[in-house]
Chain A
Amino acid sequence: MNNEFIRISLNEILFYFTRAGFGVNAPIGLSEDFARSNVWLAENGFDPSSCSYFALDCLDNRKSSIIANFSDRNTIVCSDKKYLSAFQASVVAADWITSNSNDKLKIVNVDSPFLVLAQLGVNLAENWQVEWSDDKGDRYLINLKKNENWEIVSNSVNLIEHSKGANILIKKLDFTGVDNNEVIKKFNTKHCRENILQTGVEVKDMWVLVYEYFSRCLVKSNARSRETGAGAGLVDND
């Protein structure tokens, strides 16, 4: 991975990631929420492209699917025997917590679990705990507290935004169960957002790949569309 980066705005994330979702044929409603999740990640100082490229790539290569259903009252699985796409898992999770205040939800085999957490953050979820172990065996516990405070508890050396293929458990916040060896990283989204608005969002090499998915929503230009599709002339002296 090279260390070159550019800085983009939150609005650019919203614009490009919505259309990148569209570029891998995700429905526009899911793509909009996917983009909002990425804005939340960016507000918290993460490079959204490094997390979301995998979700985009899985959908594009049919390694994941947005077809989901409840296998029992508290478990969501992908009906297609693939990864469950974070595009769908994240909105289902966000919808579920609005009506289930004391229950648990398990979401099986999600391609990019951090995006599910991000969607809960977008929805200002409070007093919820999100936990998963991924395909590398790394365990992450995220506590969503009040007033946009949240924390990651993990002893993994791998970046959480690269975590893949996880069974996610969402339940009410439980302050027990933190291993003494685990590191706690704390965030306040509001505070982080204020900083990001002054600096812009740093995106690295995966951004180019996200942009490629975005560019699929663009239509090739030709002489006719240049002349008739957008009004104005090609020379406008007056």
Chain B
Amino acid sequence: MNPLSDLPSNNSMTKNTKSNELILRDPSKVMRLERMGSSFQTRLSFMRTLIRRMSTDKWRFERLISDIDSEGYGVSVYAAHTPERTYSLVAFTQSIPNDMRTDRVIAEVWDATFSLYDGVPSLEDIEYLSKHTPKQEAGRFRPSELVLARANKSLRLFEHIASSLSNGEQPDIDLLASVGYLMRTTAVYGSGKFGCADRAKLHDREECKVSFHIELLAVYLIRWFTIDLVETIAQKRGGKKAVKLEYNISKFIGVGNSTGLGMAPFLLKHPVLIHNWVSAKESSLGRVRSINNPTDYSTEVFLQSLKQASQHIREWNVEDEEQTLRIERLRVEVDKLEYWCVTNDILKKMSPWDIIYKFVEENFSYECQELTVSLLLEPHGELIDELADTMLATDGTVFDSNMQLKELTNILNEHYSWATKIDFSSAESQHHFWYYSEDKLEPRFGSIDTDDGVEQEMPLAIAREISDLHNKLKTFSNTMCTGEFAMRYPQFRHIIRRAQNTAIRPYAEVQDNLLNKSMRPLDLLRFKLAFFGASKFDPKSDLWTRISMYQGAPLPKQLNDKDHDNWAFPIKPIKEIR
């Protein structure tokens, strides 16, 4: 049973905050790779906000078509009916050779492929998609398709659950917990990729205007599809003997994902969006830390969340040695935090959330600090949930040609000292470069010493560009305008525009050198995936990670449950006693 589910659903809280005293963490603290790579989901994460919307707006879900054989191969269509319109997941499943099952972009076949259709597809649409969706990047899509995705089975868990259910038994919980999902997605494309609908088509739709909601709706439907699929296969195999998954066990099944380097350039290419995401999270933390007298409800939720998080991270096991050490330390620190809070009656003091944050920041690891941020936000939906609506961007960066070079220099001094201090004459500082491979445009991370392609480097060397601009500006008159300067030196137009944006959106920039030898793309991936709402980060190298999505989240039939929003830290279910 979820320990949070017994809490009162009316989370009214006293807005007893210190006026105009929001304590915001500085970008130089927040936007560092080491901290970014320790991020956790929060109640503002996109999966969380999407589930709340589904429940609040009473979305209806329906399986429209299930035309599959006894092995589960065929086509299925699942619909989400929102108050305004319907979205349909069209799923194709097929048998593939084991030696062709890869999580990489360069894969050519998948166990399942998906399109999210805008509306209810006609038979002609399904026929069209049957020729394109299974080909993924090699197919061609239309503005009626919003998302393109694919997934591969976790063979051992899928077969175990199908077999167990067909024999009338529930699956082994430990095995289920060790994997967490029946299938893992290996790419989820939206925003106009391969001819799909542009993001702008959705801008005025309330249900999916927040970042990545449409992609995460597709993932939510994929999760439901995988559970429905395994139950259907079990039914076909076992007949009357077969059973369905128990309520809490089905809820514990998430959908996996393998994420590689594609996400990293995204963060660099969307500075306005990244600022808005981080700003919402930091403003939320600031609001919570400003509370003088917390309600009983909030302190109770905090303590129960802390206990559940403690259990959650005990069940978070990975093979990666470095992450294992971080998790082990986190377990100890979370226990210490709980002990400290209770023995010192911290929650009965004035401004307890601020006290807790400061204590954790001074004493514990980044992992624990960022977990604590998540825990502090958890009880304060009424105070912070409105900020989720700001986590989008409709505008891009703008080049201010009238700005004088003096002001530009001031911006570099104020916001980019982290970059201007780097010595780019050292080999270590320019060890890496980012590029697109001709293999399906797969993004890759090369080393100058060993890899070809530095001439085609992606323009992600922000720190180096800033350093070059900073040096160049030293030789120019302060009163010249950036427009004239950029006309003479167009190679700086890109970085000037970026710097001008940072002056008004200070959380826009990752404040580390992404070319450095020690750079771990993994940190960028975790940062972004945490905003999505992912959990159980399972790094497979510095370049890619597996994660769980929607583990513990309510399935369509569970969206009206009282505890539909309490799935931040999923823990193993207990089998029903018969």
Q: Look across to chain B and name the residue whose beta carbon is closest to the beta carbon of A68.
A: B487
CB distance from B452 to the nearest CB of A (A): 6
User: Are A10 and B490 in contact, with the CB atoms below 8 A?
Assistant: no
Q: Check if A233 sits within 8 Å of B103, measured CB to CB.
A: yes
Residues of chain A with a CB closer than 8 A to B143's CB: 9, 197-200
Stretch from B63-71, B539-547, B562-570 at the A interface: B539-547
Q: With A11-B191, A200-B142, A219-B436 in contact, do A29 and B495 touch (Cβ < 8 Å)? A: yes
- When distances are taken between beta carbons in the complex, the residues of chain B under 8 Å from A222 are 452
Q: Report yes or no: A226 in contact with B106, Cβ–Cβ below 8 A.
A: yes
B32 at the interface (CB under 8 A from A): no
Complex: how many Å from CA A9 to CA B190? 11
B200 within 8 A of A: yes
Give the residues in chain A near B441, CB-CB below 8 Å: 218
Residue of B nearest to A198 (CB): B143
Min CB–CB distance B577 → chain A (angstroms): 31
Residues of A near B443 (CB, < 8 A) are 230
Query: Which residues from 101 to 138 on chain B have a C-beta closer than 8 Å to any C-beta of chain A?
Result: 101-106
Chain B neighbourhood of A9, CB < 8 A: 143, 192-193, 195-198
Q: How far is A230 from B493 in the complex, measured between Cα atoms in Å? A: 30
User: Chain A 198-238, CB within 8 Å of chain B: the 1/0 string?
Assistant: 11100000000000000111111110111001111111111
Which interface class (under 10, 10 to 19, 20 to 34, 35 or more) fits A?
35 or more
The interface-forming segment of A50-58, A87-95, A134-142, A167-175 is A87-95
Partner of B456, one of A217, A233, A236: A217
Q: Which of B87-95, B148-156, B333-341 contacts A (4 or more CB under 8 A)?
A: B148-156
- For the complex, count residues of B whose C-beta is within 8 A of A: 69
| A10, B196: Cα distance in complex, Å | 10
A8 to B443, CA, bound (A): 21
> Which residues from B are CB-within-8-Å of A99?
401-402, 481, 483
Chain B residues whose C-beta falls within 8 Å of the C-beta of A184 in the assembled complex: none
Chain A residue nearest in CB terms to B525: A231
Given contacts A32-B494, A236-B152, A236-B258, contact A229 B401 (CB under 8 A): no
Whether A29 touches B497, Cβ cut-off 8 Å, given contacts A9-B196, A221-B438, is: yes
In the bound complex, how far is the Cα of B106 from the Cα of A232, in angstroms?
11
Nearest CB in chain A to that of B541: its residue: A231
A28: interface (CB < 8 Å): yes
Decide if B105 touches A230 in the complex (CB within 8 Å): yes
Known: A9-B198, A219-B435, A238-B154. A231 touches B261 (CB 8 A): yes
Assembled-state Cα–Cα distance A225/B102 (Å): 16
Once the chains bind, are A215 and B200 in contact (CB under 8 Å)? Answer: no
Q: Smallest CB–CB gap between B457 and chain A, Å?
A: 9
Q: Does A30 contact B (CB under 8 A)?
A: yes
Bound CA–CA A30/B399 (angstroms): 11
Within the complex, the shortest CB–CB distance from B401 to chain A, in Å, comes to: 4
- Kindly state the separation between the CA atoms of A88 and B201 in the bound complex, as whole angstroms: 31
Which residues of B have CB within 8 Å of A219?
435-438, 444, 446, 452-453, 456
Report which of A8, A27, A220, A230 forms a contact with B442, defined as CB distance below 8 A.
Answer: A230
Partner of B444, one of A11, A230, A238: A230
Q: Which residues on A sit within 8 Å (CB–CB) of B450? A: 224
B451 in contact (CB, < 8 A)? yes
Type the 1/0 row for B450-483, where 1 means its CB is closer than 8 Å to any CB of A. Answer: 1111001001000000000000000000000101
Q: Is A7 an interface residue (CB 8 A)?
A: yes
Tell me, in angstroms, the Cα distance from A221 to B104 when the chains sit together. 14
CA distance A238 to B258 in the complex (A): 13
Query: Which of B198, B445, B451 neighbours the largest number of chain A CB atoms within 10 Å of its CB?
Result: B198
Distance from B436 Cβ to chain A, minimum over Cβ atoms (Å): 5
A160 and B133 alpha carbons, distance in the complex (Å)? 38
Q: B156 is contacted by which of A12, A88, A200, A238 (Cβ under 8 Å)?
A: A238
Instruction: Please list the residues of chain A having a beta carbon within 8 angstroms of any beta carbon in chain B.
Output: 6-12, 22, 27-30, 32-33, 66, 68-69, 88, 91-92, 94-96, 98-99, 193, 197-200, 215-222, 224-226, 229-238
**6 cross-chain pairs, A with B, having the tightest CB-CB distances, nearest first:** A29-B493, A11-B192, A231-B544, A231-B543, A9-B192, A219-B453
CB-defined A-B contacts under 8 Å, sample of 26: A8-B195, A9-B193, A11-B191, A11-B198, A28-B459, A29-B495, A88-B487, A88-B490, A92-B483, A95-B486, A95-B487, A197-B197, A198-B143, A200-B142, A219-B437, A224-B450, A225-B446, A226-B437, A229-B445, A230-B443, A231-B544, A232-B260, A232-B543, A234-B102, A235-B98, A236-B102
Known pairs A29-B490, A29-B491, A69-B487; list 13 more (Cβ under 8 Å). A6-B195, A7-B195, A198-B201, A216-B456, A218-B441, A220-B452, A229-B442, A231-B540, A231-B544, A232-B103, A232-B543, A238-B155, A238-B156
